[in-house]
Structure formats: structure tokens, C-alpha cells
Amino acid sequence: MGIVKVRKDFQQARWNEPIIYEMSTPGVRGIIPPEPEAAIKAIAGDVIGRLPASIRRKTAPYLPEISQKHVLAHWLRLSQETMGSNIGNDISEGTCTMKYNPRVNEALIAEPDFAELHPYQDEDTVQGILEIYYKFEQFIKEISGLDKVTFQPGGGNHAVYTAASVVRAYWEAKGELDKRNEVITTIFSHPCDAATPATAGFKIITIYPDEKGIPDIEALKAAVSERTAAIFMTNPEDIGIYNPRVDEFVKIVHDVGGLCFYDQANANAFLGVARAKEAGFDMCHFNIHKTFGAPHGCSGPATGAFCCKAELAKYLPVPTVEFDGTKYYLDYDRPESIGKIRDFYGVAGVIVKAYAWTMMMGAEGLRTCADISVINNNYMEKKVLAIPGITSAFQGNGIKRQEQVRYSFEKLHADTGVGTDDVNARIVDYGIPSYWTSHHPWVIPEPMTLEPCETYSKDDIDEYVAVLKEISKEAYENPELVKTAPHRSASHRRNDEASLDDPEKWAVTWRAYVKKHLSKKKEMDSVS
């Protein structure tokens, strides 16, 4: 094994790089396209003049005006300030399955034969990608044990919303939607397991854990009734505890006629080990951009695989990918479908990468992936819990954690005043990306959630533990050093956490920023 070295001399590039719109100078051009040849003009005529007035721009698009050289310099400077998975030790992102994704697959989807495909092409011209969709569906059917799969959802939350929509369609078809209006979930399931059925119109009932951290089965028994439409639950939950009685939960819900949905966004610990089918679930989903070797979505390309039993397949969104023995095709003739849930079928690049990864791993490799993930996590848990000031959720309950653990800095905070936000601000000074704390509200105080997937080595884990140990030492000896971090990183602390809850302050685009902030500033300046 290699040498584990804490990067005490880490220094990230850090400067106040302007937004590219702020670098804009009127009249500057990055490229001036050549005028069309006279012969082409003669044939094409007045192209713009033939556009309907309703779709013609009244003004030119507001784009930054900047030279190629300065565009390149701008993005290079931004890249130097970025702490990504290819640079840092990304065990930090618990619940997200941040593993090393084969770069050969990135080259694969960059090939012109794939990259230049268009979703409006005739089916006869895209048989290859449809074949990959179809064959990958067969893999996911085997991994889940369920009968039908769609890759149409654009991510995990979208797949869970698809599940909520299928549940709604199922009860509507039975004429019981007015009565079956409750969905049960658990507090440590992903928040979308409550949010998406709520968005679909269901009342949400949340089950809290027992003294061991397992969802309270007696509370479930009290919650089910003739009003129960379904249960939506993650297992293991986000704190890393697997519910060994999950099949009993399913039976309790089935006994009152409800459906059961299994959130398996993070399936790394169960590939080739346990399936939704054997636990009795009617539906499940996977985040293809997590477990299956395609980079994590993080608002970027993602795919949620929604799986269901045969009796629910008729409600799947259109189209589905089918094979008639000679030709692959998109099936829109599904009268009981919930309809389209997005413009096009799935994110092709994610599916191709995941298909290639799964083919490379094979059945034996998938099981090995699960085994190593669990071994890594339990090794790391033992090392982390030996660090002063760190505990874990429901520590000592006798249940081995699976692929992740929710830790707590509650003791460190009580002893030193240094909390998880402080540690998170300090960890980047050692070249480690900031870690995932927990969903809000923090049920586990001062949380930290880590997930050492199968692609992390013992050295990676030991390095991460060594950094946490160093920060713990700093907190006990010099807490202000940690409280004033970061010192050597481009990241910073949010000055106003409350603004995240105020839509009036959000600005995720330059246009929104100008409208919400710059325009108000101009108004104030004029008043002054």
C-alpha cells in the first residue's frame, strides 16, 4: 500500500473570479462566422423573414461579449478553484455513491456515432441505442427481480415521483383514490420519499425509529388503515442502518391492500445480494448515475430507473422500449399510461456508460462491488469512532452498518464549541472535499455522512481518517483555528443561511440575479 500523508501544506487556487457576464464588453466577439456564399443566399432567400413573427426575437439574446482568449482563461481559472472527485478524496459524499467512474466510458459517449444522435431520428436509424436501452433494462430487471423497467425519469427524485404517479393511477383505476389518500414513509428515508407523493396529492405519515434506529414497526401497525395507498421507504436508510424486518413492513402494508415502493437509489451494498422482489416490494428505483458507474448527477446528467411488477407495468410512462424479435421500437400505444414525464426517453449518455460498466463488472463483479463497499465502510467506521469527539447515530445498537454511516460531532461541539459546519469548513484546507452532513432538519445533531465505495483503497480511507483526527486535535487544542476556517481553500462559508429559504433572494441564473439584485441596487442608488 502507499504512504498516507495528511496534506498540511495544501493550498488551493483562490481568487475572486468575476462572473463571465461581468467580463462582457459591448462589441467584443469570440468568433465571427463567415457570411454565407452568394449561391447559398440565392437558394435560401430571406430565412429570417420567413420565420413567424411570434417566434422571432424582438431583441438579441443577452450573452456575454468576450474574446476566445479571455473565455478560455476564465474557465481555466474556475477549474483551478474546483475541488472535484478527480482531485480530492471524495469519500465525503455519503448517500451519493461517489465512486471512480471509468474514463474510457466518457470517451465512448464522445464518439461521433453516438454524440451526433438526435432524439427525433427515425427508429430504424437508432437501433443501436434502443438495443442498449432494452438490454440494460433486462439487467436491471434481474438486479431488482421486478418485471418491467423504464429509464425515462431524469433522476432519482423524478423516478420516485413516477412511483407516486403510478400509485395514483392504480387507485384511480380502482375507483378508490378518494379513500386511499395516505402514503407512509420513514424519517430517515430520503426526503423525496415524502415530498413526491405529497406533490402527487397524498397525505404523508412519517414513522420514527425505535431505540435501535430501525423504523418502529408498532408505529407502522398503528399507521396503516383502509386509507393507506402505499409505503415509500429507503433501506438501508440514510443513516446507514439496514432494516432487517423490511419484509414484515411490506406484509403489514399489503395486508391492508397498500402498495410498497423501495427507494434503492444507493444500491451499492446489495448488488447480487438482496432484491426488491424477495422483500415483497411492488416497485423500486435505482439512481443509475450513482451505483452503476455513471458520474453522480448533481444537477447534471442523471437517470432514475423505475421498476415495477407486471400488474403495474400498464401505468408506466410512454414510451417504453420494446423488441418484437427483429426490431427495437418505442411503444406509445399504452392507454392506461400515466403519460409522458419528460420530452425524450432517458439520458442516453448515462445509460450507455452504465451499460458498459455493468457489462464490464458482470454478475460476479457486481457482488464483489457490494462486498468491498460493506467491508470499506465497516473498516472506516471503526477508525472514525476512535477519534475524540465523534460518535455515530444509534451507536452500539449491535447492527452492522452497510455502505455508509451518519456520524455526529455532538460531543466535539459540547467539548470545544466546534460543530460540523466548522469541521466541514476546515476539512477543505487539507485537500478533502467538504462532506455531506444530512438532510434538514438535523435529527442527528452535528451530522457527517461518509460513504467509502468499492473504488476507494485502504490508503484513501486512512488518509481521510487521518485528516479528521488532525481536525479533532485542532478543535481541542486551538478551536478558533477551526472556527475561522477555511484558510487555504477557494470555498467559503455562507454568510446568510436564511437566504436559502427565501425564494426572493434566489438567483440561479444571471438574468434572475440582474432582476432580483442589480435592478434593486440601481433603484437604491437612484434614491440615494
- 516 and 473 in a single domain? The answer is no
Q: Is 375 helix (H, G, I), strand (E, B) or coil?
A: helix
- 379 and 340 in a single domain? The answer is no
- pLDDT of 23 > 80? The answer is yes
Q: What are phi and psi of 296, to 5 degrees?
A: -55, 140
User: Considering the chain, what percentage of its residues have pLDDT values greater than 90?
Assistant: 74
Please tell me whether the peptide bond between 26 and the residue prior to it is cis, using omega within 30 degrees of 0.
Answer: no
In a domain, 5, yes or no: no
In a domain, 101, yes or no: no
Amino acid letter, residue 305: A
Going 304 to 305 to 310 to 314, the CA torsion angle's sign is positive
* Grid cell for residue 433: 472535499
Split at pLDDT 50, 70, 90, the class of 145 is: very high
* Grid cell for residue 258: 397498500
> Mean pLDDT over residues 438-464, rounded?
94
Distance (Å, whole) CA 137 – CA 130: 11
Q: How many domains does the chain have?
A: 4
Q: Please give the C-alpha separations between residue 399 and each of 186, 211, 214, 240, 410, in angstroms, as whole numbers.
A: 18, 12, 10, 10, 21
Tens of pLDDT, residue by residue over 339-373, are 999 988 889 999 999 999 999 999 999 999 999 99
Strand order in the sheet with 203-207: 148-150, 304-308, 283-287, 259-263, 228-234, 182-186, 203-207
What pLDDT score does 137 carry?
A: 97
- pLDDT of 2 > 80? The answer is no
Q: Please give the C-alpha separations between residue 331 and each of 148, 193, 340, 442, in angstroms, as whole numbers.
A: 14, 29, 12, 44
Q: Residue 150: name the closest of 312, 361, 362 by CA.
A: 312
Q: Is 308 helix (H, G, I), strand (E, B) or coil?
A: strand
- Domain of 477, in residue numbers: 371-483
What pLDDT score does 490 carry?
A: 87
Distance (Å, whole) CA 304 – CA 155: 4
Going 107 to 111 to 117 to 122, the CA torsion angle's sign is negative
- pLDDT of 256 > 80? The answer is yes
> Mean pLDDT over residues 118-122, rounded?
92
In a domain, 365, yes or no: no
- pLDDT of 196 > 70? The answer is yes
Q: Residue 282: name the closest of 256, 319, 253 by CA.
A: 253
- pLDDT of 520 > 70? The answer is no
Going 369 to 371 to 376 to 378, the CA torsion angle's sign is positive
Split at pLDDT 50, 70, 90, the class of 521 is: low
Grid coordinates 456520524 are at which residue? 407
- 347 and 221 in a single domain? The answer is yes
Tens of pLDDT, residue by residue over 286-295, are 999 999 988 8
- 150 and 299 in a single domain? The answer is yes
Are 450 and 92 a contacting pair, CB within 8 Å?
yes
Tens of pLDDT, residue by residue over 467-477, are 999 999 999 99
What pLDDT score does 527 carry?
A: 53
Instruction: Tell which wins on pLDDT, 518 or 388.
Output: 388
- 352 and 387 in a single domain? The answer is no
- 207 and 304 in a single domain? The answer is yes
Residue 417 CB coordination number (10 Å): 13
417: Cβ contacts below 8 Å, ≥ 6 apart: 479, 483
In a domain, 62, yes or no: yes
Are 483 and 475 a contacting pair, CB within 8 Å?
no
- Angle at the Cα of 241 (from 238 to 247), degrees rounded to 5? 105
- 322 and 212 in a single domain? The answer is yes
What pLDDT score does 505 carry?
A: 81
- 255 and 379 in a single domain? The answer is no
Split at pLDDT 50, 70, 90, the class of 86 is: confident
- 351 and 377 in a single domain? The answer is no
What pLDDT score does 514 carry?
A: 87
Split at pLDDT 50, 70, 90, the class of 14 is: confident
Tens of pLDDT, residue by residue over 222-253, are 999 999 999 999 999 999 999 999 999 999 99
> Mean pLDDT over residues 31-59, rounded?
88
Going 239 to 244 to 247 to 251, the CA torsion angle's sign is negative
Q: Can you give the CATH number for the domain in which 419 is found? A: 3.90.1150.10
DSSP tag of 494: -
> Mean pLDDT over residues 327-331, rounded?
97
- pLDDT of 523 > 80? The answer is no
What pLDDT score does 504 carry?
A: 83
Distance (Å, whole) CA 225 – CA 219: 12
> Mean pLDDT over residues 437-449, rounded?
93
Out of 96-110, 185-199, 273-287, 374-388, which region has the weakest mean confidence (pLDDT)?
96-110
> Mean pLDDT over residues 104-128, rounded?
93
- 443 and 507 in a single domain? The answer is no
- 307 and 242 in a single domain? The answer is yes
What pLDDT score does 518 carry?
A: 81
In a domain, 171, yes or no: yes
